[in-house]
Structure 1
Amino acid sequence: MFGTAAMLSAAVACSQKPTQEPVKEEINLMIKSEQVAEHNGQPVFHYILDNGNMQVEMSNYGGLISKIIAPDKNGNLENITLTLDSVAEYLTKPNPFFGATAGRVANRISNAQFSLDGITYELAKTNGDNHLHGGVEGFNKKVWTPETYSNDSVVGVKMTYLSVDGEEGYPGNLQTTLWMELTPDNTLRIRFESTTDKKTIVNLTNHTYFNLGGMERDAQDHEFQFWADAYTPVDEELIPTGEVKDVTGTPFDFRSPKILGDQIAANGGGFDHNMVMKQEKSADMKHFVRVRHTESGRVMDMYSDNLGVQFYTGNFLDKFAGADGKVYDKHWGFCLESQNWPDAINKPNFPSPILNPGEKYVHTIEYRFSVEK
């Protein structure tokens, strides 16, 4: 796979009057792969997915999205994610989960423990007294086994990882497959499937930080709309209290478009909360969020089949030296982490994150990019 590239092209003829020459629209899907490092004896690859209009860069290290390069209303291409200068740098430079796959359980688990069938499982305390994003070496620090694929409608990378029984304190051998793919209509699709041989808990997501303005300044000028009627309040350690609260009359009411900076000010400093998108599990893909950046014209629509989305506004960023000489400061980017509600295993009234043998965990996320002039 070192230094290889594959390209697939499809020509679609538009119907015309018989006296006219057919007009053809070229759809070019391309993937490039290059080995850029080795980690624990396994090759680490950098991939570029290209549909002729935008590019998504990723890696099998950490199931990572390292860049999304998208056009603005004038056709100018810019990276719209917070990132490091190279995939290899992720192996050595600590960072706040830029673009990573978070698991085996994303978000926080209170007191770094949970119980299943009378057995208490102790986890690493990686966020105060709590457990965050899978532990000391979660899925974001694992080398996944990759396989590239393409057809006339998609180009992508399929990755697999086996999290063995007891890894980071979790029970069961958990086999996970991750697909990350780009379509001709500028949709980045992320799909997870997991199975286990022992009762366990699972909550996977992608942790990309977005800034549709191209990293020129913070993201407070972005406009957000959530299709969420409720959210889950948190305590001082950002652990959900167990309450499910109506957004009406609160800074969490984004049911009509709101400017992020206005809502951050109203909320006293930012968001790191679960927005409730569904009350019960279903396979239906729901329109979760629309984000617009008026100056660039970029628009991102997020869809998911999951129950919630963790809305994080980069509250803990502090003069972080990012890619291309940029310095990421507070609120420089935002995350929309599709997932089950946080700490659900310790909240009996929250949707269960338990996965049993014979069941399959399935989770699909779509980020659809467009431009408004």
Structure 2
Amino acid sequence: MRNVAIIKTTLSYAVALALTSGAALAAEATRAPAGTLADGTAVEVISLTNKQGISARILTYGATLQSLSMPDKHGKTADVLLGYDDLKDYVDHPNYFGVTVGRYANRIAGGAFSIDGKAYQLPLNDKTNSLHGGGKGFDKQVWKVASVKSGPVATLVLTLTSADGDSGYPGKLDSSVTYTLDEAGNLGILFDAKTDKPTIVNMTNHAIFNLGGEGSPDGALGHLLTIPAKAYTPVDEALIPTGERKPVDGSVFDFRQPRRVADGIRDGRDPQIVFGRGYDHNWALDKGLTKTPELAARLEDPVSGRVVEVLTTEPGVQFYAGNFLDGTLVGKGGHLYRMGDGIALEPQKFPDAPNKPNFVSARVDPGKPYHHAMVYRLSVKR
């Protein structure tokens, strides 16, 4: 019963989204076995499908968005997410493809933070920092299926309880991730959590997109990207934000109008591009923290016509251009993934916010649940 209130709140938004989009046809949700872990734990895959040719596959391992298929302007359907075909590869070669990230997405400097004067230490899994939860994050755990439903909105609700002290984080955290798909092409992902003591939470999805189709030889560098943000948060050499909000005007970080990703990704004259090996930065969205999802980014492939708009209630979005993909990972269909083969747009609180008082707080307290609603709005430009 502990997650019932969270689930009801989450589903109310999804239903409202479907009604406002005019969705009438039923979308389908189905579940099937996906294999077992070495300890015998069973993993499932749940498919959400609508009548417009859009389908999403979600693994209970990591609450992972394993695939997202959609038609192009000629009606040809392709999977637009980097990832793996098999569960075993997600376990043996983790690279955050499509996973639910938590408890804290992105980096925390030194893996250290304090709440009310008490210091906490997280595992260091990114050189001197904690990245995406550190240690055994939410992406490496099997989530429980709480609900699977077909209807005007196909819905999957997954839940996970993280014990007090798990990976160094304080408080027992009851979390849920709700995936929804309607007939208008809205794939919603809603994150909810409640704690029994003060803690920090910053959950997101780490899908990496190639709208030309996963594994297409041209990669994603020719995609057009728009980010409605006047400023971004520059980083130091360890990719930790300095605390500054720097105007994008006149720089390769200005995506207020659609620009090809390739135009600035190798501009070594900007030390920020050197630090990130390309784009691996957080943009401070003009909209800030909002009650309902608003536009954080728009990605378009001019060749296929596929478009994904990312909407979120969170104040920031991390744009990562796959800079650390170096051809050593074999993904779906036997494809080698390289820098620029895909793009992640991760809505979030700002990196290292627990150590930056001037950033929007990531603190969550008992009786004040965490909620993040995001949407991948899919369409085709013909």
When normalised by structure 1's length, the TM-score is: 0.90
Q: Partner residue of 1:301?
A: 309
Q: Partner residue of 2:25?
A: 27
Listed one character per residue, the Cα deviations across residues 229-272 of structure 1 (whole Å, up to 9, x for unaligned) are 11000011100001011111111110011011002133544210
For residues 79 and 357 of structure 2, what CA distance do their matches in structure 1 show? 41
2:338 is equivalent to residue 329 of structure 1:
yes
1:27 Cα shift?
A: 2.7
Runs of 4+ with >4 A deviation: none
Listed one character per residue, the Cα deviations across residues 286-317 of structure 1 (whole Å, up to 9, x for unaligned) are 11111110110101111111110010000000
Q: Specify which of 315, 318, 323 is matched with residue 310 of structure 1.
A: 318
1:35 Cα shift?
A: 1.5
Pick closer, same or farther for the CA change 1:229–1:26 going to 2, 3 Å.
Answer: closer
For residues 378 and 101 of structure 2, what CA distance do their matches in structure 1 show? 23
Read off the aligned partner of 1:86 and give its amino acid letter.
Answer: D
Q: CA RMSD in A?
A: 1.5
* Partner SS for 2:357: coil
* Partner SS for 2:265: helix
Larger Rg: 1
More strand by share: 1
Q: Partner residue of 1:225?
A: 226
Gaps of 5+ in 2: 1-22
1:332 Cα shift?
A: 0.7
Pick closer, same or farther for the CA change 1:176–1:251 going to 2, 3 Å.
Answer: same
For residues 41 and 193 of structure 1, what CA distance do their matches in structure 2 show? 28
Q: Partner residue of 2:141?
A: 142
For residues 287 and 29 of structure 2, what CA distance do their matches in structure 1 show? 38
* Partner SS for 2:27: strand
Q: Partner residue of 2:367?
A: 358
Listed one character per residue, the Cα deviations across residues 311-349 of structure 1 (whole Å, up to 9, x for unaligned) are 000000011211101111111101011100000000111
Q: Is the 8 A contact 2:292 2:373 kept in 1?
A: no
Q: Is the 8 A contact 1:46 1:60 kept in 2?
A: yes
Q: Is the 8 A contact 1:46 1:87 kept in 2?
A: no
For residues 116 and 279 of structure 1, what CA distance do their matches in structure 2 show? 27
For residues 236 and 334 of structure 2, what CA distance do their matches in structure 1 show? 36
For residues 306 and 260 of structure 2, what CA distance do their matches in structure 1 show? 15
Q: Partner residue of 1:164?
A: 163
Listed one character per residue, the Cα deviations across residues 20-77 of structure 1 (whole Å, up to 9, x for unaligned) are xxxxx98342222112223345321011111021110111110100001110111111
1:372 Cα shift?
A: 1.1
Mapping for residues 159-238 of structure 1, pairs under 5 Å: 159-214=158-213, 215-217=215-217, 218-238=219-239
Gaps of 5+ in 1: 1-24
Read off the aligned partner of 1:312 and give its amino acid letter.
Answer: Y
Q: Partner residue of 1:368?
A: 377
Q: Is the 8 A contact 2:287 2:294 kept in 1?
A: no
Q: Partner residue of 1:250?
A: 251
Q: Is the 8 A contact 2:26 2:150 kept in 1?
A: no
Q: Share of identical aligned residues, percent? A: 39
Mapping for residues 255-270 of structure 1, pairs under 5 Å: 255-266=256-267, 268=273, 269-270=277-278
Read off the aligned partner of 1:36 and give its amino acid letter.
Answer: A
2:110 is equivalent to residue 102 of structure 1:
no
For residues 112 and 359 of structure 2, what CA distance do their matches in structure 1 show? 17
Larger displacement relative to structure 2 (49-58 or 270-279) = 270-279
Read off the aligned partner of 2:280 and give its amino acid letter.
Answer: D
Read off the aligned partner of 1:79 and give its amino acid letter.
Answer: D
For residues 225 and 316 of structure 2, what CA distance do their matches in structure 1 show? 16
For residues 26 and 309 of structure 1, what CA distance do their matches in structure 2 show? 32
* Partner SS for 2:278: coil
For residues 29 and 197 of structure 2, what CA distance do their matches in structure 1 show? 37
Mapping for residues 33-44 of structure 1, pairs under 5 Å: 33-39=31-37, 40-44=39-43
Q: Partner residue of 2:76?
A: 76
When normalised by structure 2's length, the TM-score is: 0.88
For residues 142 and 233 of structure 2, what CA distance do their matches in structure 1 show? 33
* Partner SS for 1:27: coil
* Partner SS for 1:95: coil
For residues 332 and 100 of structure 2, what CA distance do their matches in structure 1 show? 19
Read off the aligned partner of 2:65 and give its amino acid letter.
Answer: I
* Partner SS for 1:89: helix
Q: Partner residue of 1:4?
A: none
More helix by share: 2
For residues 47 and 280 of structure 1, what CA distance do their matches in structure 2 show? 33
For residues 152 and 124 of structure 1, what CA distance do their matches in structure 2 show? 42
Read off the aligned partner of 1:100 and give its amino acid letter.
Answer: V
Q: Is the 8 A contact 1:66 1:87 kept in 2?
A: no
